[in-house]
Structure 1
Amino acid sequence: MAGTSAGIVAALTAAALGTVGFLAFRAQATVPANLTGRPGAGASAAAAAGKAPRDRRDPTALPSASGTGERVVYSVDDDRVWLVDGRERTLRGFPVRPGSVDPAPGTYWVSSRSNAVTGTDGVPIEHVVRFTTVNGVTIGFSAAVGDGGQAVPDPAVKTGGIRETRADGEAMWNFATIGVKVVVIR
């Protein structure tokens, strides 16, 4: 009987170790690459890291994990914006030049708009579409009047303006009315 008990204990121990090993493997498969120092496991790792998967054939294509419905999609890492209608069609995609303060990935809504004001960097801007505030800095899309706001911003000044060309700014203005969803991704 003692031999049988020892065999049962050994079998249960082996089963427990196998289960723990399997669970550890599954947990490791979803850890983002930036935490493990090596590439993660496909889309789950990209999503866990806040980075939406991209179409490798077309880097300007709308990221697949960027929400649903009518929305503005802003990629902080790619400095790019997409305007997406309610039927999941990209109406326009364009590069932008962000300010010195980035919004966190997440879902926001257009909260205010101004046709023409002066930006925190002192540049006259138009078609301002605001959607959040980070540490007292208002974040929003805008187009600079005049030189297009292409001057290098002063790093000592905290700015939240995400600058577009005037043509892209007009498209944003016409699309992103109060309450339109803004999805920020890495």
Structure 2
Amino acid sequence: MPVPARLPSWAWVSGLTAGAIVAVAVLAVQADRGSHPTATASATRPSASASKGAHPGPGKPAPTAAPAAVPADSGTGRRIVYSLGQKRVWLVDASDASRSTFAVWPGTVSPDPGTYTVSLRRDATTGSDGVKIEHIVYFGAKAGVNFAFSNALDGSSPPPASETRTGGIRMRVADGSALWTFGSTGTKVRVVD
């Protein structure tokens, strides 16, 4: 009885690889023909009757429909811009282009409008409200309250207790990392209404 010829191992590997490529291509074509989820912009804003101290909830700053433009009265050059009214921060480069913008949660005490400078940075600590925070970028003080940007380690941002005087301006973890990278000591901070 004759012995059947054996295929070399490279032939088996090549055949299996070709079959896998064909299977992936077929699945990709089928996936492309399916339905595609789309994101919708939400223009939900607090109503005029919303309480002044209301916060959207842990981890959820108020959504915006499109990135807001850098306020016109925020100066020029490389700077961090913080709008008290919009509860928003912009990281602006030397060419006056916004590199990033994001919503923030202010503390119970706000800095006065004006120009400040990043004076101190701390990796992590516990905030005056008892929340563990990181990426702390200090830029000013008023009546014994220090003002600093930071993010909670767990990403949350509960409303500050009304009886506690806090100057922390909280943001999401990713935004805190971006501001930490951008806001080196000596960086200008412009606070606007």
The two structures have a TM-score, normalised by structure 2, of: 0.65
Matched AA of 1:66: S
1:128 aligned partner: 136
1:173 aligned partner: 180
Match of 2:115 among 102, 107, 110: 107
**How does 1:72-151 map onto structure 2 within 5 Å?**
72-146=80-154, 148-151=155-158
Question: How far apart are 1:149 and its partner, in Å?
Answer: 3.2
Q: Deviations over 1:8-67 (max 9, x none)?
A: xxxxxxxxxxxxxxxxxxxxxxxxxxxxxxxxxxxxxxxxxxxxxxxxx96711111210
The number of residues matched between the two structures is 129
In structure 1, the gaps of 5 or more residues are 1-56
1:31 aligned partner: none
Q: Give me the whole-angstrom Cα distance separating, in 2, the residues matched to 1:173 and 1:150.
A: 18
Structure showing greater Rg: 2
In structure 2, the gaps of 5 or more residues are 1-64
Answer yes or no: is 1:71 the counterpart of 2:104. Answer: no
Contact in 2 for aligned 1:123/1:149 (Cα 8 Å): no
Q: Give me the whole-angstrom Cα distance separating, in 1, the residues matched to 2:160 and 2:109.
A: 12
Counting helix residues as a fraction of each chain, which structure ranks higher? Answer: 1
1:17 aligned partner: none
Match of 1:153 among 129, 145, 160: 160
Contact in 2 for aligned 1:149/1:163 (Cα 8 Å): no
Contact in 2 for aligned 1:75/1:81 (Cα 8 Å): yes
